[in-house]
Amino acid sequence: MACLWDDYTKHLSQTYLFVYAGALNPFISTEKMILKRLLLLVPAVLLVILLQSVLWVPGYESQAKGNPKRLLQFVEGSIGDAKLLNPILNADSASARIVSLVFEGLLKLDENLQLSPNLAQEWSVSEQIYLTVNPNAAFPDGSTVNGAELEKRLTDFFSAAETNEGSIQTIRRIKPGQRTQTITLDTGESVSVSVELTIRIPEVIQIDLNSVDEDFSKKISSVLGDDYEENLPRAEWISIDKPGLKNKVSRRLDEFVPVIEHNPVITFQLRDDVVFHDGHTFDSSDVLFTYESIMNPRNLSPRTSDFEPIKAVEIINDHAVRVVYKRLFSPAVNAWVMGILPEHLLNAEALQAEMGSRGISGEARESFAMRNSAFNRNPIGTGQFVFRSWEGDELIHLGANENYWGRVPQYENYYYRVLPDGLAREMEFRAGALDVYRPEPHQVDRFRDKFTYQTFSSLSMGYTYIGYNNRKTLFADKRVRQALGMALNNEEIIDYVLYGEGERTTGPYPKNTLWYDHDVAPISYDPQAAIAILNSMGWEKNADGWLEKDGEIFEFNLITNNGNALRKAVLTIAQNAWQKIGVRVNTQLFEWAVFLEDFINPGKFDAVILGWQMGPDPDLYQLWHSSQSGFGQLNFVGFNNPKADALIERIRRTYDLELQKSLTHELHAMITEEQPYTFLYAPLGTRVLDKKIVMLEDDDAYAPVQSAPSGDLYYYFDRWRKLEHVPIF
Amino acid sequence: MRAFLIRNFLQRLLLLFFVSVIAHAMVHIAPGEPSEVDPANPRMKPEDIAKIRAAFHLDEPLHLQYVYWMRDLFTGELKSFKDSQPVLPKIAGRFVNSLPIFICATLIVWTLAFPTGIHAAVRRGSFYDRGSTFVAYSLISIPGFFLAYLVILWVVQQFGIPVIGMRTFGASEAQPWLRFMDRIWHLVIPSLMSALVGIAVLSRYVRSQMVDVLQQEYVRTARAKGLDNDTVIYRHALRNALLPFITMFGLMLPALIGGSVIFEQIFAWPGIGRLGYEAILARDFPLVLTINFIAAVLTLAGTFLSDVMYAMADPRIRLS
């Protein structure tokens, strides 16, 4: 059987070849050159078809060729695709950009980075203070403290004209119910136990103020006396469900029963003319839902810590919301620029309905949460732009919101293109297929042609620095850090590495905020003085030219992450500069994930080059407070200065703008003096626009595009449009 | 013949299994975590990472993960780590995008390479031969991405017309004829760049094969018979020179799935090469392994096809 099959297939293949040859025969035998002609003709025809298409393509000068709609489209390019178009869940800049167009918050930052109304048309800050009645204390005149007497004395005290500036509204005695709090205790041997505390404070004085008064306890000290805080019978008021662990809690009792508790209150009045993109009215239940979603552990929101200080969000009516905070925390109000989610599309019933329509069942149903909802790929918000479509890794398309409560954007369509390659972005911009481009510092020069491009340079809210591991003995003394800073020629770095596209920064705040003190002088470039300082500390130059003390040369490792050409350049410049004063530095680059995991998070490094992108608020707790130096936390250099800690905590409690400014200036000067980092530069961000893009003024005339005084280029984005030819003003 | 076919098929199936096991092991052993569960991602808390890891079966033993992968792949349930979208439709969509470049480039390469190579072989030592050798080796030596960038820079700065992507942006509401021409234009540079290097390489092979064949006795006989040059070359000589190209033709099948990572990255072409590359960077295991698996299937199928066609074309070869 096998050989018959062999013969058959042999016969078959020969037949096929013969047929094939036979088919070609007429071409080969009668017109022998046809094969050659075919081999040349086919590519020639294909090439002609391909190449003639160039005649029909729109270019930079002719972007609206056969397509006037192009002028009302804005196309932006991005390195990466967005991941989640949900304001409470997103963690990358691409998602953030889209979210900022589709969603909006109760408040927004105006052209000077001050908070201004948005979905909330006004807001007021007031306070409720709870003063615990201490039956073991005595008034200054000797009589025992009780609730009624305390209430009377405080009322009398504040009736007096000098002490009450009109801010006290009511004072009354209340009997709070019991409350429970669950805490985790460390019982040693790395075991933690969760215990429930029941706290019953018998009597409390509630004082309502119509502004925040952080000095309240100082004010009433004349009424309370100096030892009011002592001997508060806290142990009587707290019971614990695991009595054996009571002594572990007893050390921390003042955490759970404070003498004075400040509860700042922000009351928002919401607009009543706002509608979500699907037509549903916006009201206070959406605000409450957004807050609850952020705090819901199932949603794994990265914003939880911003909203943690909130005690409760209460709905007053459909268009008024009251937010009560647990403690004084002035940066809290900044969190309300967070986009508001539509409750009717993401609440429990909506998610159930979605699970049903998507056929999700069984185990998957248990773990289904907001993160899995299709909403994140199809968002509905209240913003100026409506989501239209999202082609993964390619394009996100938004359209103008015709029913927007404010100004409807001029642009009818907004496109967000994913172009990971930098050269591709530049080429697309030059070809008219992108409307905005962010040039690298060395490319800024190419766009100087004022008739074709318009460039906007502004300080970003970030800065680059060299961070020293303050825990190491080598860097423990601030004089060493100052000397190392003095050996670096910062101006040269800005001129040559940044091509002049940067500014010297001296401290921890962004230069364009009110918190930065421009009077603080930068460290001067003085290598001789640096050597002198180190000499005075015992470092002497040895025979090889290195500084030596007690038999050890001054040597350390300077590292940074790869993928950043500017930091790589600074690495080499710093090494060279320090070599000149006799300090031996070894440099190395690491991949970002490795860099964080092996060096930054565990704090196992000597010195690093990194940068921060800051926000507009004055709170520096996470970066500079001594409690934030643990594993994975942001004060990874180990900066530990009790005076700075106190200032940081005070700034968090301060609500008065002028006081905030003076405190932050003081903190700025303190940190500059201590030099935990060598502050290098704040880069200038440059963006180039097509010259044909103009701004519509209130009187419908066209004007050149302007950015806001804060540097935000897109502040007036809703007035932009493109013209067919370069305008002449 | 049938025994050969069946045995070969089973051998390849076994090989496919081994390839998938090795690929699976390598991908999991390689350092780096899928970016969704990367502990270095500052936005992810350890509890969330643990939850996602459980959903992806990442902490199970390797062989169990292999079984899950195979099971999900063949039931069509396999989902990408990045956005939980099913893997096979994703690959199919991107494959359709890569296809036009592949077809244009292949058509141009497999037609133009022959006359150019043949002409160089026939006129060996002439100016044309030396010139085309020089040009071919330059094209092979210059890195493709470097040349692509130079061409892009030149075209954009000279003509101010867009080159990147599958279509010009913003032209979606132009007339259909203009849109069609636009899509053809965007095909041009990537296909031509791929085709150029392909022609350079293939014409070298054609030339060397033809040089060998033209020295054979039967060519002299054909000429002696009085046949004209073109018949001698294109009918008699070329057929015998075709054998290595049959093998290469079979290997084109895996090239379908390979796409061209570099060109797709440069031209922002949403094709299969770029899909695979980005999946690797993000350690998107399901996607990486599936693309690898499909490539293995196509390679084995392609080589099998080559073997069979080779045996059919050359009676001297016996399949056993």
For B111, which of A6, A42, A51 is closest by C-beta distance? A42
Residue B49: pLDDT band with limits 50, 70, 90: confident
Distance between A592 CA and the closest CA of chain B, angstroms: 8
Three-state SS at A271: coil
Of residues A314 and A371, the one with the higher pLDDT is A314
Contact A510, A614 (CB under 8 A): yes
B206-232: b (≥16 Cβ within 10 Å) or e:
bbebbbebbeeeebeebeeeeeeebbb
Contact A36, B140 (CB under 8 A): no
Residue B320: pLDDT band with limits 50, 70, 90: low
Residue B54 at interface with chain A, using a CB cutoff of 8 Å:
no
Contact A508, A673 (CB under 8 A): no
Residue A728 at interface with chain B, using a CB cutoff of 8 Å:
no
pLDDT, position A28:
46
Closest CA to A599 of A564, A625, A570, A560: A560
Q: How buried is A324 (Cβ within 10 angstroms: 0-12 exposed, 13-18 middle, 19+ buried)?
A: middle
CB contacts under 8 A, A 162-181 vs B, are none
Three-state SS at A418: strand
Provide the H-helix boundaries in A450-560.
473-476, 478-486, 490-492, 527-536
CB atoms within 10 A of CB A460: 17
* Half-sphere exposure of residue A599: CA atoms within 13 angstroms, side-chain side: 23
Contact A416, A396 (CB under 8 A): yes
CB contacts under 8 A, B 181-210 vs A, are 181-182, 184-185, 187-188, 191-192
For B187, which of A14, A50, A432 is closest by C-beta distance? A50
pLDDT, position A162:
60
Model confidence at A363: pLDDT above 80: no
Instruction: Name the residue in chain B with its Cα closest to that of A418.
Output: B268
Q: Report CB contact under 8 Å: B188, A53.
A: yes
Q: CA A644, A251, A326, A613 torsion: positive or negative?
A: positive
Distance CA B189, CA A1 (A): 55
**CA–centroid distance for B187 within its chain:** 16
Residue A415 at interface with chain B, using a CB cutoff of 8 Å:
yes
Distance CA B269, CA B260 (A): 10
Q: Calculate mean pLDDT across residues B216-234.
A: 88
DSSP state of A494: I
Q: Calculate mean pLDDT across residues B243-257.
A: 82
Model confidence at A133: pLDDT above 60: yes
Sort out which chain A residues have CB atoms less than 8 A from B44's CB and list them: 300
Three-state SS at A265: strand
Helices and strands counted in chain B (H then E): 15, 0
* Half-sphere exposure of residue B161: CA atoms within 13 angstroms, side-chain side: 16
pLDDT, position A252:
76
Residue B55 at interface with chain A, using a CB cutoff of 8 Å:
yes
Of residues B48 and A583, the one with the higher pLDDT is A583
Quote the tokens at residue A156: 């009398």
Distance CA A209, CA B170 (A): 56
Q: What is the residue type of A502? A: G
Q: Calculate mean pLDDT across residues A403-424.
A: 90
Distance between B44 CA and the closest CA of chain A, angstroms: 8
User: What are the tens digits of pLDDT across the range A337-351?
Assistant: 999 999 999 999 999
Quote the tokens at residue A465: 């620095």
Interface probe for A, chosen from B53, B96, B161, B283 (most Cβ of A below 10 Å), is B161
Instruction: Name the residue in chain B with its Cα closest to that of A89.
Output: B43
The listed range with the strongest mean pLDDT (A57-61, A266-270, B35-39) is: A266-270
Contact A709, A459 (CB under 8 A): no
Q: How buried is A66 (Cβ within 10 angstroms: 0-12 exposed, 13-18 middle, 19+ buried)?
A: middle
Which residues face A541 on adjacent strands? A547
pLDDT, position A161:
57
Instruction: State residue A314 phi and psi, 5-degree precision.
Output: -115, 135
Quote the tokens at residue A266: 């922000």
Residue B174 at interface with chain A, using a CB cutoff of 8 Å:
yes
- The pLDDT > 90 percentage for chain B reads 28
pLDDT, position A164:
59
pLDDT, position B11:
92
pLDDT, position A72:
92
Q: Which of A21-30, B204-213, B277-286 has the lowest mean pLDDT?
A: A21-30
Distance CA A490, CA A510 (A): 18
Residue A132: pLDDT band with limits 50, 70, 90: confident
Quote the tokens at residue A329: 């925390």
Residue B60 at interface with chain A, using a CB cutoff of 8 Å:
no
Q: Calculate mean pLDDT across residues A111-128.
A: 92
Instruction: Name the residue in chain A with its Cα closest to that of B52.
Output: A367
Distance CA A534, CA A554 (A): 10
A134-173: b (≥16 Cβ within 10 Å) or e:
beebebeeeeebebeebbebbeebbeeeeeeeebbeebeb
CB contacts under 8 A, A 85-114 vs B, are 91
Q: Calculate mean pLDDT across residues A192-201.
A: 82
Model confidence at A722: pLDDT above 80: yes
Report the predicted TM-score, pTM, of the whole model to 2 decimal places: 0.74
Model confidence at A30: pLDDT above 50: no
Residue A9: pLDDT band with limits 50, 70, 90: low
For B107, which of A5, A46, A434 is closest by C-beta distance? A46
Distance CA A721, CA A710 (A): 22
Count of positions (residues) in chain B: 320
Q: Calculate mean pLDDT across residues A672-684.
A: 94
User: What are the tens digits of pLDDT across the range B67-100?
Assistant: 888 888 888 878 877 777 788 998 999 889 888 9
Three-state SS at A24: helix
Quote the tokens at residue A300: 């794994």
Residue A290: pLDDT band with limits 50, 70, 90: very high
pLDDT, position A540:
92
Residue A302 at interface with chain B, using a CB cutoff of 8 Å:
yes
DSSP state of A30: I
List Cβ neighbours of A104 (8 Å cut-off, separation of 6 or more).
A118, A119, A339, A340, A381, A382, A383, A384
Quote the tokens at residue A371: 């993160």
Distance CA A100, CA A118 (A): 13
Distance CA B24, CA B136 (A): 39
Closest CA to B118 of A562, A33, A625, A464: A33
Q: Calculate mean pLDDT across residues B233-253.
A: 84
Which residues face A109 on adjacent strands? A115
Interface probe for B, chosen from A39, A443, A598 (most Cβ of B below 10 Å), is A39
pLDDT, position A560:
94
Distance CA A278, CA A381 (A): 8
Average confidence score pLDDT of chain A: 87
User: What are the tens digits of pLDDT across the range B134-160?
Assistant: 999 999 999 988 999 899 899 998 888
Contact A295, A578 (CB under 8 A): no
Quote the tokens at residue A308: 């943690």
Q: Report CB contact under 8 Å: A67, B2.
A: no
Closest CA to A425 of A434, A413, A415: A434
From residue B134, how far is each of B131, B205, B286 by CA, in Å? 5, 15, 44
Model confidence at A639: pLDDT above 60: yes
Contact B268, A420 (CB under 8 A): yes
Distance CA A532, CA A351 (A): 68
pLDDT, position A597:
83
Q: Calculate mean pLDDT across residues A588-604.
A: 87
Q: Report CB contact under 8 Å: B174, A66.
A: yes
Distance between A80 CA and the closest CA of chain B, angstroms: 11
Distance CA B132, CA B176 (A): 41
Instruction: Name the residue in chain B with its Cα closest to that of A596.
Output: B40
pLDDT, position A11:
60
- The pLDDT > 90 percentage for chain A reads 51
Which position has the token pair 């670096």?
A: A488
Of residues B44 and A566, the one with the higher pLDDT is A566
**CA–centroid distance for A467 within its chain:** 21
In chain B the first and final C-alpha atoms are separated, in Å, by: 7
From residue A249, how far is each of A178, A234, A242, A417 by CA, in Å? 18, 11, 11, 56
CB atoms within 10 A of CB A42: 15
Given its phi and psi angles, is residue A176 left (phi above 0), alpha (psi -120 to 50 degrees) or beta? beta
